[in-house]
Amino acid sequence: MRVIISLDNKWLSVIGRRDMCIRNVLKVLSYSNEPFSGRQEAGRLLGAHLMYLVDDSPVVIGIPKGGIVTAREIARAVSGELDVALFEKLCVQGHNELVIGVVSEEGKLLAQDGHAAKNSGNGNYIFREKELKIVEIERRKSLYRGICPKIRIEGREVIIADDGIVTGSTMKSALRCIRQENPKRIIVAVPVAVSESLDMLADEADQIVCLRLPYIFRGLNGFYTQFDTIDEPNALKLLKSETAG
């Protein structure tokens, strides 16, 4: 069962109670199309709505690359530890929009959709793709983990953040990987999302906090006044400045 709480000030007083651990909750703050000035502002606003976790020292995991900016602001607000999600999606051959699995940072293949997997072609394709994904993950680990060592999340409160959710396949892949590490609770935090995608993620996360759930979704960049592309060097520079500070 999923509880939807939106636009209700009473929710803020309820979620602040330290004796409550509400699960399968989707918290929507607005249905407007009002844009954020940038990822930083969106992250700060999310952090303000996650202050009930400040005494739990949560791990805040950003999905590279834009999600790292959002996660950094949340981590600052809730006194959390900043980390990054490193994984690679495995798609149906010739159909990059159909995700059939995800390869975790540890190199483990996790099924995403059993039905799609059965129709994805022969096992040789999946094996080859998995090996290629592992190579890419190792490359990324050599860059990111030298700056931001992986944090153990077993038994801890975890916030997973991105700068928005469109199809939901990336967030779903991240959630599958994080769940394998047995955290106490996983909270998805995003500035804006497509409604149908949040419905898909409702059973994957323990809680979802979304600032904007517009009736008409006009593309992710339409919800930011400034939405610069963040490449890998910039993402690494951001992480390095945060750990140095």
In tens, the pLDDT along 172-197 reads: 999 999 999 999 999 999 999 998 99
Q: Is 101 exposed, middle or buried (0-12, 13-18, 19+ CB in 10 A)?
A: buried
Half-sphere exposure in the Cβ direction for 67 (13 Å, CA): 23
Q: Which CATH superfamily is domain 88-144 in?
A: PRTase-like (3.30.1310.20)
- What is the predicted pLDDT for the residue at 119? 54
- What is the predicted pLDDT for the residue at 25? 73
In tens, the pLDDT along 109-159 reads: 997 765 455 555 567 888 899 999 999 999 999 999 999 999 999 999 999
CATH class of 3-86+150-244: alpha beta
Query: Structural domain boundaries of the chain?
Result: 3-86+150-244, 88-144
- What is the predicted pLDDT for the residue at 200? 87
Nearest-angstrom CA–CA distance, 89 and 139: 15
- What is the predicted pLDDT for the residue at 242? 86
